[in-house]
Structure 1
Amino acid sequence: MDTVTDNGGGQTGEDELDRTIGLAGALTIGTGTMIGAGIFVFPGLAAGEAGPAASVSFAIGAVIALLVALPTSELATAMPKSGGGYYFVSRGLGALPGAIVGIGLVFGLTFATAFYLVGFGEYVIEILIEIGVIESPGVAVGPIEVVSVVGVLLGVGLTVLSVFGTENTESLQNAVVGLLLAILIVFLTVSGLDLLGVRGESRVSGSFAPEGYTPILTTAALVFTSYLGFAQIATVAEDIVNPDRNLPLSMVGSVVLVGVFYVVTLLITGYTFPSEELLEMGETAIVDVAEEYLGLAGAIAILIGGLLATLSSANASILSASRALYGLSSDRLAPPVAAKVNREYGTPHFALAFVGGTTIVLVAFGRTEVLAEVASFLHLILYGLICVALLVIRRRDPGWYSPSFRCPGYPAVPIIGGLASFALILFMQRLSQILGIIISVIAIGWYLVYARDVNLKDDL
């Protein structure tokens, strides 16, 4: 890989990131990113479409995520480099596929971050409404709603925090995810006991699949965005201590942990209210479920949980997007300034500034709901190509390839994982597919104009 020489501005001779993230930090990056939409946005939408059987949709998503996490873990221990999936695909399939997924990963994570920041603002407003501070969610400051103002301020704060050291991001992530999981464990335990009749009469009644079994697969495609976080761990691999051990443990562990939370949550949600009522509740259904079992205190606790979930997702995504851009720049597929590392803090400050600045603009003026769906499309392309990259690299068997973790069930696991990832794209909304293809075409154009003469070294 091309190296970046000292051009001033606080750079080392060959820019390298500080390894400061331990196993707990890696787990919270994956868990904190994935726990958001799956718990606080999708239960009402998913259970409204499929009833309690939506829990199967989330289980299918977890299985597919594991089928990709295992190949990713092998590649990550062989190539613990910033950029994660970009680095694996570029070394396995070449610079052009690498540029497509690398640029897609940067913008996919940036789009997702904007979505999370707007979600944070919405949860702040909902809490203020719940406690009677304001009456309407549509409060504006000039042409921009307060929701966006809150999101912009948080985006600035998280970007600055990341610039001053990855350990700051890790500490915030550990604290936020720890409190979030504590809230969820209490909520799911109390509501689960009530649902089963341990603390009263059982609420488990009615059909498991009131809408039939067909919606299970379409719902699985809808909710797969909930499992995007595990690959973000590989994206920050160059920041992780003892990557041979911590990368596979954190990637597989985060998928399993989050998958269990999702399945339990959907079973409780699906059996608490009829499907038609859940559809009307929409994205806030989990708040109504909490209020049903725990009263106003439960509703406020879940609103705080949603606040923490969107905070942790945005925090991890800003970190991961900047590392993906850093990886592209280190390979000269993006302007070299993005590979500059601050000498004092060991962070890619220009890459962070680009990601943070772009995110803030999107929060202020963009349609973040659409951007979040496009992020899912781009990630599914990445996941499928990661599986292909493992098959190609194993077949080629280069001398430098020496992973400490081997994907079990090879070659069936990466083959099934790749096919399942590509297949889920077919169940996505047409607009998301079109926008995802447009971004991929733009990435191809960028490569042909800017980086077609780049030769990547096939070693570490």
Structure 2
Amino acid sequence: MNEGPSTIETELDRDIGIVGAISLGVGTMIAAGIFVLSGLAVSNIGAMAIVAFIIAAIVASFTAFAYAEFASIYPESGGGYAYVSNTFDSDLTYIVGWSMILGYPASAAFYLASFSDWFDRFIVPLFSAGLNEALPFWLSGVVILGLLVGLNLKGTEESGQFQIVVTVLKVLLILVFLFGGLQAFDSATIATSFAENADKYRQIGLTSALVFITFFGFEAIATNAEEIEKPGQNVPRAIFFAMGFVTFVYALVVLVVTLAINNPEYLEFLIGTVATIADTAGAESYITENGEIAMGYAASFYLGNIGFYVIIVGALFSMLSAANATVLAGSRVKLAMSRRDHLPERFEDLHPAFNTPYWSVLLTGGLIAFFIFFFTVLPQLIFGTTTIHAGFLEFHMGIEAIAHFADFMLLTGLIVVNFAIVRSRQKYPKIDRGFEVPAVPYVPIVAVLANLILMVNVEPGAFLLGLLAEVIGVALWVTVIGTTTKETIEQETPTVVEEIFPEDREYQILVPIADPEHTEQLMRTARNIAADKNGEILVLSVVALPEQTPLTEGHGLVDDRRAIINEAMNVDVGGGDADIPVNGIVKIGHHVDEAVLHTVTQHGSDAILMGWRGRPARRRDVVVGSTVDTVVREADCNVLVERIGTNGSVDSILLPVAGGPHAKYATEVARAIAHVTDASITVLQVVEPHNERNRELASASLNEIGTILEDVSFETQLVEGEDVADTIVDTSSDYDATIVGATREGLFQQLVFGAIPETVGREAGGTVIMAKKDLGITSRLRRLFSRS
């Protein structure tokens, strides 16, 4: 007897208080966004940048409501990914996690690339005039990245304390900047700037999408909920305090920068400061092309050289702290994904000395380095510019492109989170919620629409790169990550009885049996199929326990299931002289369908044969039966479903066909049964009356099917009928068995086999077998997007 290994849960220490939680949010929001994006925004749309920032803040606030409610319910690492995973029973949650594990590192790459840019422009020249030409501009950002990765490997308490100190310092520095700049406040200048830019709707939309990244700090708070004290109370408070404070500060900073770049004295200041500027027109052009450093020169203009370098140092520390908060949050998403088998198990491992998810931290650091080089270094090395022309497309790389790409990835996750809050209210209406989103579902719907509007306003090149990244994520899931390991399977559905004989044949058919009354009928069909292929039969019985019951409690219920296995292994069903090995296993699990699917993965089964009573489903969301539906949709092998109730010999088989891979598989099954039992097969194709074109196509299909049946007795019939299913049902009364293939394989498939096979399965006479061919990657892609 094999008992599944016990699992040991790993938890992180709750050592981040309310001040630390607020600093995570404020530290992420007041960073490269305020020092870099405020200048870019003002250079694009002047004082209307205030409107762009407010739009971005409002959009973020709608989704922040959802995060606040979820954090009060699920105080665990993972943020939006964890919330969606706890709400939807679907592999679609992987896409949310994938979007987050790229969006966070892209955000950190934006902060560190901005750090490198400012450090190279303002700090390096202090040491040597030619040093910034000798050293690569990205070096400082990569060095800081290494230090931040080391800090996060050491532990969140050190990282959180660092975050508080740096956040307080940079807020003080920004207050100094505002004090100097607001003394030159001129309402006429601001009003003129508003008027000149009020009709630039596209630019306002682009700028709102660009600066959205600055308000994503609320996610950083929620993502670290597992390490925050009293998360149900502190997380919502930290989110809304941080967002309100930061929005107010951003508006003031935009005012000061707008006042500066519209001040003739500021333009004269630039002419005397920047060697490449010769006149006023050159100064205006310089501001337009270098908006990311406009705030730095504004600080110098208002505060003098000392104030300028104080602000520069503050900006660098702001970018550093934002990157630190993002590394911390990004690594926790990977930790959560690993716990749900959406990433390899190693990313859940905690360091034995520091108790931190060190593999997740290292992966986050690697992705950040990749984005820095991909967006800022490689374009310059390969093309000599950050603007790349590919046919009719134009990709603007560089720092601004990183922000747009990060926004696309993060907005993808936020959209699903808002859907999840609506589903959570429906699915768990009585769950205790420390905070509730008002006016559900209206507020989440508004949030989804607002997020979509921002997403379509992302710069086109970054938008396409984001779509490509999502496609790569789906491909990785389908081909690599989605393959469950045997070790994980044994934890989730342990094998407790295993009667396996040493013969190992190339073909195996798995037969799950729950009711002893079904044994003989299913074993007869399985034997006929296995005998034709010189294969073997694996019989499975599952001890199903309630969700809240530990799997170890199932050992006392194994004996009844062992008896079913023994009966199946000893049943005499005839069917030729072939010696067919019959093996058996008993598994314990919370869900029978998962146990069946796990057995397919563990033992490499080629087909599953399941029984069905033929009764209409009682639930609207169930077609054949909840367990059978799931297995038919998700099994990585061929699936056969046999209607239980008929138990006689099979001398004649009706084979309705309509083309396609499922019909061919049904034909192969019919041929296998006929080959063993000497049954005759009638291949039936139903066409609309008086439709000559359909008759010609049907005749060609019948000829193709006939090539599969060459070694058994068969005939073909082409009949006319207004209703295909009714015609097949009426014809089936003259046959012992009807074998029919599935008719559809849609991305958002609601039916299991298709309307016609399911009608035939319920109403046809004699034995009915419905067949579905495994279509490999196509099938896995459909499963990814069809579950909910």
- In structure 2, C-alpha distance between the alignment counterparts of 1:441 and 1:365, rounded to whole Å: 18
**Which residues in structure 2 correspond to 1:300-339 (within 5 Å)?**
300-339=309-348
Shift of 1:458: 8.9
Query: Which of the two has greater helix per residue?
Result: 1
The CA deviation string for residues 50-94 of structure 1, in whole angstroms up to 9 with x for no partner, is: 211211111111111111111110011101111110011222234
5+ long unaligned stretches in structure 1: 7-12
The CA deviation string for residues 323-360 of structure 1, in whole angstroms up to 9 with x for no partner, is: 00000001111100000112432211111122223333
Shift of 1:134: 3.5
Q: Which residue of 2 aligns with 1:209?
A: 195
- In structure 2, C-alpha distance between the alignment counterparts of 1:179 and 1:423, rounded to whole Å: 35
Shift of 1:135: 4.1
Alpha-carbon distance change, 435 to 94 in structure 1, aligned in 2, over 3 angstroms: farther
Q: Which residue of 1 aligns with 2:469?
A: 439
Compute the TM-score of the two structures, normalised by the length of structure 1: 0.89
**Higher alpha-carbon deviation: 116-125 or 32-41:** 116-125
- In structure 1, C-alpha distance between the alignment counterparts of 2:330 and 2:344, rounded to whole Å: 15
- In structure 2, C-alpha distance between the alignment counterparts of 1:4 and 1:84, rounded to whole Å: 29
Q: Which residue of 2 aligns with 1:10?
A: none
8 Å contact 1:18–1:347 — kept in the other structure? Answer: no
**Runs of 4+ off more than 4 Å:** 3-6, 202-205, 452-459
Q: Which residue of 1 aligns with 2:288?
A: 279
8 Å contact 2:186–2:259 — kept in the other structure? Answer: no
Compute the TM-score of the two structures, normalised by the length of structure 2: 0.53
Alpha-carbon distance change, 182 to 162 in structure 1, aligned in 2, over 3 angstroms: same
8 Å contact 2:407–2:458 — kept in the other structure? Answer: no
- In structure 1, C-alpha distance between the alignment counterparts of 2:438 and 2:98, rounded to whole Å: 30
Q: Which residue of 2 aligns with 1:158?
A: 148
Q: Which residue of 2 aligns with 1:347?
A: 356
Give 1 or 2 for the bigger CA radius of gyration.
2
Alpha-carbon distance change, 129 to 292 in structure 1, aligned in 2, over 3 angstroms: same
Q: Which residue of 2 aligns with 1:168?
A: 158
Q: Which residue of 2 aligns with 1:9?
A: none
Alpha-carbon distance change, 49 to 357 in structure 1, aligned in 2, over 3 angstroms: closer
**Higher alpha-carbon deviation: 168-177 or 411-420:** 411-420
Aligned-pair identity in percent equals 30
8 Å contact 2:41–2:291 — kept in the other structure? Answer: no
Q: Which of 429, 440, 448 is residue 459 of structure 2 equivalent to?
A: 429
Q: Which residue of 2 aligns with 1:291?
A: 300
Q: Which residue of 2 aligns with 1:418?
A: 448
- In structure 2, C-alpha distance between the alignment counterparts of 1:387 and 1:153, rounded to whole Å: 37
8 Å contact 1:195–1:272 — kept in the other structure? Answer: no
Is 1:116 aligned to 2:105, yes or no? Answer: no
**Which residues in structure 2 correspond to 1:170-319 (within 5 Å)?**
170-196=160-186, 206-213=192-199, 214=201, 215-274=203-262, 276=284, 278-319=287-328
**Which residues in structure 2 correspond to 1:66-105 (within 5 Å)?**
66-105=61-100
Shift of 1:257: 1.1
The CA deviation string for residues 87-111 of structure 1, in whole angstroms up to 9 with x for no partner, is: 1122223432211010111121112
- In structure 2, C-alpha distance between the alignment counterparts of 1:53 and 1:233, rounded to whole Å: 29
Alpha-carbon distance change, 160 to 208 in structure 1, aligned in 2, over 3 angstroms: same
Alpha-carbon distance change, 208 to 4 in structure 1, aligned in 2, over 3 angstroms: farther
Alpha-carbon distance change, 452 to 422 in structure 1, aligned in 2, over 3 angstroms: farther
Alpha-carbon distance change, 318 to 28 in structure 1, aligned in 2, over 3 angstroms: same
Q: Which of 424, 427, 433 is residue 396 of structure 1 equivalent to?
A: 427
8 Å contact 1:32–1:313 — kept in the other structure? Answer: yes
Alpha-carbon distance change, 234 to 458 in structure 1, aligned in 2, over 3 angstroms: farther
8 Å contact 1:68–1:414 — kept in the other structure? Answer: yes
- In structure 1, C-alpha distance between the alignment counterparts of 2:416 and 2:355, rounded to whole Å: 30
**Higher alpha-carbon deviation: 331-340 or 97-106:** 97-106
Alpha-carbon distance change, 4 to 355 in structure 1, aligned in 2, over 3 angstroms: farther
- In structure 2, C-alpha distance between the alignment counterparts of 1:33 and 1:458, rounded to whole Å: 39
- In structure 2, C-alpha distance between the alignment counterparts of 1:380 and 1:20, rounded to whole Å: 29
Higher relative contact order (CA 8 A, sep 6+): 1
For 1:61, the aligned partner's letter is: A
For 2:474, the aligned partner's letter is: I
- In structure 2, C-alpha distance between the alignment counterparts of 1:329 and 1:458, rounded to whole Å: 21
Shift of 1:265: 1.1
Alpha-carbon distance change, 398 to 344 in structure 1, aligned in 2, over 3 angstroms: farther
**Aligned-pair RMSD on alpha carbons?**
2.6
Shift of 1:136: 5.5
Q: Which residue of 1 aligns with 2:18?
A: 23
The CA deviation string for residues 381-401 of structure 1, in whole angstroms up to 9 with x for no partner, is: 1111111110111122266x3
- In structure 2, C-alpha distance between the alignment counterparts of 1:4 and 1:121, rounded to whole Å: 49
8 Å contact 1:4–1:340 — kept in the other structure? Answer: no
SS class of match (2:237): helix
Q: Which residue of 2 aligns with 1:381?
A: 412
